[in-house]
């Protein structure tokens, strides 16, 4: 069976080809799955997609009409897939239920430290042989308070690092994580967490209930000199409201590895084009904002685990087996917490 893999990054391709060798043939495309590219999958029983694929009802119907029966998504999140339509069309949909939580947790702290210590500005200056320290003063993290919204695998790994810094730990989640409690985390309501935290980091899934978890009111409730980090899903933050707060001179720093309108932008080279997204264009002009392109997961260890799990999902499908990674056919469930 030949698997058609959409949205494959250059570093990812050799890992996919090596993993599938001796099992099934895999053909890697750098194109992302959209309504325009879906017809390419005709004749392929199994396809693999990236997190930025657009698997809406129309795309799913094109895939099913072309003979596709398995969609193996190479990510934990699946808010980009219309699972109800997939189930009605008889498609099997599988994801990667978990991979290295350290990849994202470490990157979240990389963003926090970079905006706290003005690393991007400092690097730009020294490249021009400007070695002044004006405007580069950061703050010690030890003794300050970090608020962790979502304490699943990634949130726990993020908390362990914060504990190593010697920070006070506040958490918010539906269920308390005993490991985080053992590290000294105090679980509080969201309002208190936002009001008291010097650093706020998001590690929850994107669901209808969490969309714009940080809306205008929530952002206003944060400290004026807080640091905000989002390495989870862009839709957790109301970006228009965030821009408004930044224009008012609030926040020491904001580190974003995700953006709610990133589809069609992230993972692509737009450097020679006019980007028509005015909100993103405004966002990247703020000197205290650092935006990266959904790369928090992008380590050799994490991508290797994602590839291996994707292969196992294909093998399970071919053998008629069911695993925890299968989303459809089954009752529609909420997205995982990492």
* Residue among 82, 48, 46, 41 at smallest CA distance from 62: 41
Asked if 197 and 145 count as a contact pair (C-beta separation under 8 A), the reply is yes
| Closest C-alpha among 72, 227, 251 to residue 165 | 227
Three-state DSSP at 265 gives coil
- pLDDT of residue 112 exceeding 50, the answer is yes
Q: Tell me, what's the pLDDT at 330?
A: 66
pTM: 0.92
Retrieve residue 144's tokens. 């300050």
- Helix 300-319 and helix 13-20, axial crossing angle in degrees, nearest 10: 40
What the block records as the tokens of 182 is 């053992």
Contact 236, 211 (CB under 8 A): yes
Q: Look at residues 40, 4, 8 and name the one whose alpha carbon lies nearest to residue 24.
A: 4
- Candidates 44, 74, 95, 294; catalytic one: 294
The one catalytic residue in 12, 156, 260, 262 is 262
pLDDT-derived band at 328, boundaries 50, 70, 90: very high
Q: Percent of the chain beyond pLDDT 90?
A: 92
pLDDT, tens digit, for every residue of 211-264? 999 999 999 999 999 999 999 999 999 999 999 999 999 999 999 999 999 988
d(CA 338, CA 98): 7
From the list 57, 49, 66, 62, the residue with the least C-alpha distance to 87 is: 57
Confirm whether 262 is a catalytic residue.
yes
Torsion, CA 258, CA 264, CA 269, CA 275, rounded to 10: -90
Percent of the chain with pLDDT over 70: 97
Per-residue pLDDT, 262: 92
Is 313 a residue whose pLDDT tops 90? yes
Q: What is the pLDDT of residue 168?
A: 98
Q: What is the mean pLDDT of the chain?
A: 95
pLDDT above 50: residue 32: yes
Selected catalytic residue, list 44, 95, 233, 250? 233
Give 141-200 pLDDT, tens digit per residue.
Answer: 999 999 999 999 999 999 999 999 999 999 999 999 999 999 999 999 999 999 999 999
Strand partners, 46: 3, 70
Q: CB of 242 within 8 A of CB of 254? A: yes
- Is residue 127 annotated as a catalytic residue, yes or no? no
Pick from 197, 256, 199: which is nearest to 232 by CA? 256
Average pLDDT over residues 42-58: 95
- Whether 118 sits among the annotated catalytic residues: the reply is no
φ/ψ bin of 21: left (φ > 0), alpha (ψ from -120 to 50), beta (otherwise):
beta
- What is the Cα–Cα distance from 21 to 248, expressed in whole angstroms? 55
């Amino acid at each position: 069976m030949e698997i058609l893999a959409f949205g494959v990054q250059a570093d990812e391709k050799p890992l996919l080809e090596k993993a599938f060798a001796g099992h099934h043939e895999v053909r890697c495309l750098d194109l992302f799955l959209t309504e325009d590219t879906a017809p390419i999958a005709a004749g392929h029983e199994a396809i693999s997609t990236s997190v930025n694929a657009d698997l809406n009802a129309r795309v799913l119907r094109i895939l099913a009409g072309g003979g596709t029966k398995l969609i193996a998504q190479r990510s934990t999140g699946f808010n980009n897939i219309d699972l109800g339509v997939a189930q009605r069309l008889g498609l099997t949909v599988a994801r990667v239920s978990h991979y290295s939580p350290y990849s994202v947790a470490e990157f979240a702290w990389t963003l926090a430290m970079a905006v706290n210590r003005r690393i991007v500005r400092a690097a730009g200056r020294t490249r021009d042989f400007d070695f002044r320290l004006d405007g580069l003063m950061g703050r010690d993290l030890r003794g300050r308070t970090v608020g962790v919204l979502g304490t699943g695998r990634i949130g726990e790994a993020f908390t362990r690092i914060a504990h190593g810094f010697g920070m006070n730990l506040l958490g918010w989640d539906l269920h308390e994580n005993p490991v985080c409690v053992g590290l000294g985390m105090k679980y509080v309501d969201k309002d208190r967490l936002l009001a008291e935290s010097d650093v706020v980091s998001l590690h929850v899934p994107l669901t209808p209930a969490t969309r714009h978890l940080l809306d205008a009111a929530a952002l206003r409730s944060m400290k004026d000199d807080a640091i905000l980090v989002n390495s989870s899903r862009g839709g957790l933050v109301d970006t228009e409201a965030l821009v408004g707060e930044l224009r008012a001179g609030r926040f020491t720093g904001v580190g974003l590895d995700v953006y709610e309108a990133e589809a069609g932008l992230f993972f692509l080279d737009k450097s020679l084009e006019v980007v028509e997204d005015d909100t993103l264009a405004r966002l990247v002009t703020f000197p205290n904002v650092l935006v990266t392109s959904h790369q928090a997961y992008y380590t050799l260890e994490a991508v290797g685990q994602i590839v291996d799990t994707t292969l196992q999902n294909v093998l399970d499908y071919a053998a008629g087996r069911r695993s925890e990674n299968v989303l459809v056919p089954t009752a529609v469930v909420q997205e995982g917490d990492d």
